[in-house]
Amino acid sequence: LVAVLLLVYLISSNNFSSLGEGRVPPGPRPLPVLGNLLQIDLKRPYNTLLKLSKKYGSVFTVYLGPQKVVVLAGYETLKEALINYADEFGDRFEIPIIKEEQNGHGVLWSNGDSWRDMRPFALTNLRDFGMGKKACEDKIIEECGYLVEVFKGFKGEPFDTTQLMNYSVSNIICSIVYGSRFEYSDTKFRSMVDKTNRKVQLVGSPSIQMYNMFPWICQWVRNRSEITKINTFIKKENLAIFNHLKETLNPQLCRGLIDAFLVRKQSLEDSGITNSHFHDENLMVIIQNLFVAGTETTATTVRWGLLLMAKYPKIQDQVQEEIIRVIGSRQVQIEDRKSLPFTDAVIHETQRLANIVPMALPHRTSKDVTFQGFFIKKGTVVYPLLTSVLYDESEWEKPLSFHPAHFLDKDGKFVKRDAFMPFSAGRRICLGESLARMELFIFFTTLLQRFRFTPPPGVSEDELDLTPRVGFTLNPSPHKLCAVPLM
Ligand code: HEM
């Protein structure tokens, strides 16, 4: 048994294949089959990896079970890898739980020609919304208006913002993808959003991580069947909307991304191209990708912002003073960002400290590469450790504190910081970055203009917990806040 385990370990860990081709990145000694699992906190793997980077340097190897992973840490190293070696480090590693569902389609987890066709298509449609940037801004403002009304309805009583934020942000994706929004009371819509978010949490759970490492052993883990059920539900609902849009399509009047996709598909077919990547399966996965990647991320970041404001009331005072002085009671516009340097710094600092996607998404090398003197074989899984950049001690004065001055100069002007990398960088940089930045600005500023955020009665600011909840993204732990109307 020992001999077999050792053989599996040697073959799966690629130890043989790298011999003779250069130094392999160092790392803790792995056990057969288990790799370094016993050393890794599966609930917060990014913390362990951060600690290991202090010991083994900015390029190191760990074994997650039999899976060899090269971890990249620190601003300089990530910048060099993701930008200067964009091609070599630019493929995606599709984790098993996703592979069985998406099979290389869509944008988030795809590679090769399909990704090269789908990414620009999705990007153009996100950016332009089919109608231009201003229309996108107007949609965000409109959606934020609905949210404000619902917040007002709580009359300053404590409530959990999670679902409402998710519905509101998800509605922006609905407008982009379907061309229409839903009422927050629509039960089908609520179900779709709630289930999508449950899935995002489940995908990051320790049991699914175990499944991803040992799919052949851990087939029956509890959360896997729930993910499959959610996938089936979401697919069915999306298909119903898709079929309706297909039947009512008017190529002269694109309502959203689905219409644009169908029009492109038809025009390719009309020119005799029948084997393009513009097929229904790809479209269904893109839709899911945009909801998964574009809802919880933005909603969670806004929620971190509100929680931080309740925890640090003096910073909230400064934000509100600036908003009232510069904007007054009129509607905030994207244009206002440059006149609101403190508010902008608070939003950036929220994203930095919240660090919601701490390990980016797993990358994979597209070819053999020698990087910083280390040989990394083609097909190696790579984790760009974004935490190590957002908390890099050589880049940030107070990496572990909430310190908006990180983004301000001595005159209080906003300063861009290169090590601000919550959207990652390079070829696989977040596709929704510019949309997300617009959303964060409009939502955060409008909410702070209209409400004072405080802890519930009987809870002190100190008691508000900033420990993130475990999931695929880092969420605030469950909490309630009061949104006391200001106008
Ligand atoms: C990828 C962060 C919002 C769509 C990513 C990645 C990160 C990220 C870290 C992985 C990059 C890598 O692997 O190197 C965020 C954050 C957001 C946000 C912090 C909000 C605060 C959005 C939105 C959308 C979106 C609003 C779309 C509507 C995507 C897609 C990818 C991606 C499609 C995959 C890109 C590819 O593989 O080519 N995002 N994201 N994201 N994001 Fe976002």
At 393-421, the pLDDT tens digits run 999 999 999 999 999 999 999 999 999 99
Q: Is 482 annotated as a binding residue?
A: no
Minimum-distance ligand 1 atom for the alpha carbon of 426: 14
Residue 205 has what pLDDT? 86
Question: Ligand 1, atom 37: nearest CA belongs to which residue?
Answer: 108
Residue 27 has what pLDDT? 97
Residue 17 has what pLDDT? 42
Residue 392 has what pLDDT? 94
Residue 6 has what pLDDT? 59
User: What are the Cα distances from residue 228, in Å, to 65, 151, 193, 219, 220?
Assistant: 24, 34, 16, 12, 12
Residue 1 has what pLDDT? 60
pTM here?
0.93
Regarding the beta carbon of 432 and ligand 1, being less than 6 Å apart is answered: yes
Residue 18 has what pLDDT? 45
Helix (H, G, I), strand (E, B) or coil at 109: coil
| Whether the complex's predicted ipTM surpasses the cut of 0.85 | yes
Residue 266 has what pLDDT? 93
Going from the Cα of 294 to the center of ligand 1, the distance in angstroms, rounded, reads 7
Residue 253 has what pLDDT? 87
Regarding the beta carbon of 427 and ligand 1, being less than 6 Å apart is answered: no
Residue 204 has what pLDDT? 85
CA distance 91 to 113: 12
397-401 contacts, C-beta under 8 A, 24 or more apart? 400/353, 401/353
pLDDT digits (tens, 9 = 90+) for 4-28: 665 655 555 444 444 446 789 999 9
Instruction: Mark the ranges of the chain whose per-residue pLDDT is less than 50.
Output: 13-20
Regarding the beta carbon of 430 and ligand 1, being less than 6 Å apart is answered: yes
DSSP string, 283-309: HHHHHHHHHHHHHHHHHHHHHHHHHHH
